[in-house]
Amino acid sequence: MKAAVIVFPGSNREGDMARALEQATGQKPAMLWHADHELPAGTDLVVLPGGFSYGDYLRCGAIAGRATIMDAVRAHAARGGLVLGVCNGFQILCESGLLPGLLMRNANLRFVCKMQHLRVERNDTAFTRHYAKGQVIEVCIAHGEGNYEADDATIARLEGEGLVAFRYCAADGALGGDANPNGSRNDIAGIYSEKRNVLGLMPHPENLIDPLVGGIDGRALFESLASAA
Amino acid sequence: MKARVVVTLKNGVLDPQGKAIEGALKSLGVEGVESVRQGKVFDVEVTGADAAAAKAQLTAACEKLLANTVIENYQIDV
């Protein structure tokens, strides 16, 4: 598994992401700059980390979504290559057109930073095979604009084609009410592209890989990716 | 040549910031406010003197970056 992490001006979770990838794959990922033109030969996985690319100016992820390196990321995804975007990375995937819809300001207008339960909607993808279907995991969220929104036709397509990856839920897996931290449509925390090779999610699995910080529920995502290529 | 681009949320798109401003105006006692929607204004200095060309360039700018046409409309005044 050869991974590459793209660093934008204002990214701040690239170190955590690199550590999670190295722990799972045994290899340090390549760190690429937003102005680079190419991915290293043989790259299996491209990761867009969390942070505040370009200071969230204009719209979250809007400027990063049009950065030079994104043409190479789009080509990689079109070839079936794996792409993971977490938090600001998810916002960048939506703004770049790699995933539909977009992330709006949290419905309650507050920045939310807390532990959050998620339900794994399917475990037959490159990202989730080390989880169980329907498993409830606990990871952390830290975002002000994680309110997933798309038009009704897009939501119906995502649901109909099984492209919802994770939903916000309570500890017992129940959906709705206070278990939804930001007002996302259908409690959506993460979605796949049509071919399920691109995943965007708001929570931070890369921060829950070490028992020292209170949990390791994020590990299985990186172990799934390590065994996928 | 000066131009102004105004980007606004489409009707029906939830605007929590507009709602918060609307609530604040009401609590300040400002009367007659039915509802508030927040948008963005870009003042752009365009090279050349051809208004039609400028409008075409700014349309491209809106489609490529300034507006997310999933949720936003834009209006260009040259």
- Nearest-Å Rg of the Cα atoms of chain B is 16
- 3-class DSSP string for A134-181: CCEEEEEEEECCCEEECCHHHHHHHHHCCCEEEEEECCCCCCCHHHCC
pLDDT of res. B67 = 96
**DSSP alpha helix (H) spans, B1-78:** 16-27, 51-61
Nearest by CB to A109, from B20, B64, B68: name it. Answer: B20
Question: Hey, is the C-beta of B17 within 8 angstroms of any chain A C-beta?
Answer: yes
pLDDT tens for chain A, residues 1 to 229: 999 999 999 999 999 999 999 999 999 999 999 999 999 999 999 999 999 999 999 999 999 999 999 999 999 999 999 999 999 999 999 999 999 999 999 998 899 999 999 999 999 999 999 999 999 999 999 999 999 999 899 999 999 999 999 999 999 999 999 999 999 999 999 999 999 999 999 999 999 999 999 999 999 999 999 998 7
Residue of B nearest to A57 (CA): B66
- How far, in Å, CA of A168 to CA of A29, rounded? 29
User: Which of A58, A66, A102 is closest, CB to CB, to B71?
Assistant: A102
Q: How far is A227 from chain B (nearest CA, A)?
A: 36
Residue from A98, A110, A151, A185 whose CB has the most chain B CBs within 10 Å, to mutate? A151
Spell out which residues of chain B touch residue A95, defining contact as CB-CB under 8 Å: 68
Find the CB nearest A109 among B13, B16, B65. B16
Summarised one tens digit per residue, pLDDT across range A90-113 is 999 999 999 999 999 999 889 999
Q: Is A95 a catalytic residue?
A: no
Look up the pTM and report it.
0.93
- Its ipTM equals 0.82
| Catalytic annotation present for A204 | yes
Q: How many CA atoms lie within 13 A of A27 on its CB side?
A: 16
B70: contact with A, CB 8 A cutoff? yes
Q: What's the CA gap between A182 and B2, in Å, rounded? A: 39
Q: What's the whole-number mean pLDDT along residues B40-52? A: 95
